[in-house]
Amino acid sequence: MFKASIRNFLAHKGRMALSTLAVLLGVAFVSGTLVFSDTINVAFTNIAGSTAADVTIKPKQAFTPEVEDRGLSGETPTLPAAVVTKVAAVPGVRAAHGQVSLQNLTVVDKDDKPVGPTTGAPTLGQNWYDDPQVHLVQGHAPTHSGEIVLDQASAQHKGIHLGDPLHILSPSGSTPGTLVGVVTFTTGNPGVTMAYLDTATAQARLLGKPDQFTGVTVDTAPGTGHATAQQRIKAALGDGYSVATKEEQAQTAAQQISSFLGVVTLALLGFAGLAVLVGIFLILNTFAMLVAQRTRELGLLRALGAGRGQVLRAVLTEALLLGVIGSTLGLGVGIGLAAGLKSLISRFGVDLSGTALVINPVTPVAAYAVGVLVTLVAAYLPARRAARISPMAALREAAVAVAPRLGRRTALGAVLLVAGLGLLYGAATHHATIITAGALLGGGIVASLLALVVLGPALSRVVVYGLGAPYPSLFGTVGRMSRLNAVRNPRRTGATAGALMISLSLVGAVAVLAASLTTSVDRDVDNTFGADYVLSGNGATPIGHEVTDRVKAVPGVQAATRQRYAVAHLNGFQLALSGVDVATVDQAVKPQYVAGSTADVAAGKVMVDQTTANADHLSVGSQVELHFLNGRVGTLTVGAISKPPAGAGKDGGSWEVSLDTLDKFAPEAQDFALYLNTATGADRSKVQAGLDAALAGYPQVTVQSQADYKKSITGQVDTVLYLVYALLALAIVIAVLGVVNTLALSVIERTREIGLLRAIGTSRGQVGRMVRLESVLIAVHGALLGLGLGLAWGVAGQKVLELYGITALSIPWTTILAVLVGAAVAGLAAAVLPALKAARMRVLGAIATS
């Protein structure tokens, strides 16, 4: 039986090819994601660990973990220069270096163009001191004001040479200078731009605080352990400082990197899982059809003495071979995919040349577990059906097609469908808590999906037959036969369409949610955006007081509403507290209040959005204790509650106070947005020209009109949407392969039938058209089910997300129609090879096939 299994597999290797490809694609996505994320993790952890000093001292923050986005607020904790002297005197310290390090600066070249990464990585500014990880390859170190050293990757990318003028923009203002040196890093560059100044200039111009440092790095003396030096430094400095060894810094960096990559990895693995799920339908169909075609052969084996268990094991052995081959190929392709991604990001300035691809033992284990187990699970039902074949089947002239009994299956599917729709309705109408509504939505999605999978055969009879109703009128006898062929085996049609249904249901749901979010944002901007222009920094960059002063002096600008940002904690959760000019905020952003007013904010109280208020059980008059980054603590009273902005969640909720109140707790906060209202009758073109002139030399500042502002927000939604569609494309490709495989095997199954049709006068073109029409029916059937399911999910999801400000339901009918047409085109494309094979059959040979 084992030899028979091997021979059967080799005999049908062409028929197995597409199923193998489905396994390969799913496994490649899984293994490629794991290898790439592991490589990135190791590379960045090594860079962080190797660049860390033996011991590093920083000001102790008011809360942990350390805030990563403090650059936008302009809040930079510092320590006095005297700390460096004190640390240098500690026994076991060979050298102590005062460090000035700031994130999210902007380096500008002679043409007023930004010199920095385009990948979202920050531009860092630092004072120069002897660091073994930094190697000067051109020029000399900065020793005087006006001298700047840049990293080699940034200099080469922008074509900057020694002697070229540069200036650095920071919250403290503009720092002009000349490039006097170029450096490289011994550990590789994770994509950042590094600019170095002499210590005095970095303190005065970047930090804005002479005789202050952001930290101290320590080189320990030979024979002194890092932990020993750490304890001695802690004893010498006392409380108020964070003292970490090289090992602790490396561990913290690894945790931060793993936390970020973990989210990305899970998301990618989720799409890989979807591709694998779709592949199950393809494999199941393949084995179901192979078993049906080998009925006489399996019956003969049973007549010769093979037991049911032997037949079951024989079919599963073929599945095992398919799974092993597909997994092996998929693992190799996945490693190649990871290598390609590594090479791709190197073109964006992320230098990982010093790190080889990391293939942890879990990667091949996961690859084979996914590929082999999925294949065996998918093949089990057809294998069990094969084991039940009677020995008498060998005596029949041909396998007799028996219409499957679908009564119990249909009843179960109907129950699941009612339950799923009920849960979705409950999610859409339950507005008490997001957790409950989300649980109802998740349950409804699972139940409704299972319902349509179970109902697939029954639905295929009705839907496909209905969709094919125009076929006889349009295509005559060929159309009528393709319609009947599509419903001849409802299980097969249902499984083939089910693969497309799963993929396109997610496309439909995502399209509805994205369109609803875009419409909600548009409506929110129209209702709340009263400014003529808004200025903001690119990335997490404050625009600075210098820019604000220049813009306010532009003729035609009547009012400039400043908005600042500070980081605070409430009950252990980080929040963004913004301060605004309360005198002009109503005309700039037109806040929508549920309770209270701007006058309450002006009186020193805080405004929160309704979603945050509900989540934190706050109401007007509630007291909130906010802990700020600089260690200050403020107890504020909730004076107003606003409507939630579109798409804002609990962690991204609105907390707003007046600028006067913010200055009490975070005086170092910087302007990060500026809303401008022009005077009545002002010439907009002249105002725009004045703004352009005032902002020349400040490329980090973006000026947007109302239309531009709205477009920038919706553009971010579109970017995410396209990324999701690209990832879903893998599952759709596998689903289309399923259609190809089903049609190919169906053509083989109907070889004799096609020969008879050709014998009685059916042309090759008619045979090919019959296969193509059948394929279109199956594809459109799957698309209709998927899009209908996706619309239900999307509508329910939008109702749930009303709690987060997505108040407008928008159904993108153009997108839905385009997907439906695309499914029909995909059906035609899937039928090309099977139709060609059917049309080219030799008439006599096909008739003689048993």
Distances (CA, A) of 129 to 138, 142, 202, 330: 16, 9, 12, 49
Whether the Cβ atoms of residue 190 and residue 121 lie closer than 8 Å to each other = yes
Nearest to 790 by CA among 762, 811, 769: 811
pTM: 0.76
In the three-class reduction of DSSP (H, G, I as helix; E, B as strand; rest coil), residue 488 is classed as helix
Packing angle, helices 13-51 and 706-749, rounded to 10: 150
CA atoms of 245 and 240, how far apart (whole Å): 17
The answer to whether residues 754 and 846 touch, using CB atoms and an 8 Å cutoff, is yes
CA distance 682 to 150: 43
- For residue 73, the model assigns a pLDDT of 59
Distance of alpha carbon 268 from alpha carbon 29, whole angstroms: 8
526-533 average pLDDT score: 84
Cross-strand bridge partners of residue 635: 625
Residue-level pLDDT at 402: 46
What is the per-residue pLDDT for 351?
64
DSSP conformation letters of 777-841: HHHHHHHHHHHHHHHHHHHHHHHHGGGGT-------HHHHHHHHHHHHHHHHHHTHHHHHHHHT-
pLDDT band (50, 70, 90) for residue 636: very high
Quote the tokens at residue 130. Answer: 């002897």
Helix (H) or strand (E) holding 354: none
Cα dist from 407 to 92, 226, 412, 424, 528, whole Å: 82, 73, 9, 26, 56
Rounded-to-5 percentages of helix, strand, coil across the chain: 60, 15, 25
For 101, the 3-state DSSP assignment is: strand
The b/e string for 53-77 (b: 16+ C-beta within 10 A; e otherwise) is bbbbbbbebbbeeebeebbbbbbbb
Distance of CA 265 to the CA centre of its chain: 9
The pLDDT confidence band at residue 845, using thresholds 50, 70 and 90, is confident
* Secondary structure (DSSP) of 44-61: HHHHHHHHS-SEEEEEPP
- The pLDDT tens digits for 239-263 are 888 899 988 887 877 777 777 777 7
Which tens digits make up the pLDDT trace of 758-807? 888 888 899 889 999 999 999 999 999 999 999 999 999 999 888 777 88
* pLDDT tier for residue 641 given thresholds of 50, 70 and 90: very high
Average pLDDT estimate for 99-114: 86
- Position 225 confidence tier, pLDDT thresholds 50, 70, 90: very high
Candidates 671, 503, 516, 668; CA nearest to 578 is 671
User: Which backbone phi and psi does 13 adopt, to 5 degrees?
Assistant: -65, -30
The DSSP symbol for 405 reads P
Task: Judge if the upstream peptide bond of residue 65 is cis by omega within 30 degrees of 0.
Answer: yes
DSSP 350: B
pLDDT confidence of residue 414: 92
> Taking 90 as the threshold, does the pLDDT of residue 290 lie above it?
no
- Report the pLDDT value the prediction gives residue 146, as an integer from 0 to 100: 92
* Contact yes or no for 589/526 (Cβ under 8 A): no
* 686-706: pLDDT as tens digits: 998 999 888 887 887 888 887
- CA distances in angstroms from 402 to 408, 488, 497, listed in the order given: 17, 10, 21
Residue 380's pLDDT band (boundaries 50, 70, 90)?
confident
Tokens representing residue 3 in the block: 């030899």
Torsion of CA 809, 804, 450, 491, to 10 degrees: 40
**Residue 649 pLDDT level (bands cut at 50, 70, 90):** very low
| Residue 582 in tokens | 């309360």
Token look-up 């703004």 returns 691
HSE-CB of 189 using CA atoms within 13 angstroms: 27
63 has a pLDDT exceeding 60: no
pLDDT(658) > 80: yes
The pLDDT of residue 228 is 94
Helices 751-759 and 764-800: crossing angle in degrees, nearest 10, is 130
Q: Could you tell me how many helices (H) and strands (E) the chain has, helices first?
A: 29, 25
pLDDT at 668: 80
pLDDT level of residue 72 (50, 70, 90 thresholds) = low
Q: Which residues contact 718 (CB under 8 A, 6 or more apart)?
A: 514, 518
Question: Stretch 23-51: mean pLDDT, rounded?
Answer: 82
Please determine, for residue 722, whether its predicted confidence score (pLDDT) is greater than 80.
yes
DSSP assignment string, 516-576 = HHHHHHHHHHHHH---SEEEEESSS---HHHHHHHHHTSTTEEEEEEEEEEEEEETTEEEE
pLDDT at 13 > cutoff 60? yes
Residue 650 has pLDDT above 50, yes or no: no
**Mean pLDDT computed over 318-326:** 88
Q: Mean pLDDT of all residues in the chain? A: 84
pLDDT for res 235: 92
> How large is the average pLDDT for residues 510-515?
91
User: Mean pLDDT across the stretch 278-292?
Assistant: 78
Q: Quick one: pLDDT at residue 68?
A: 46
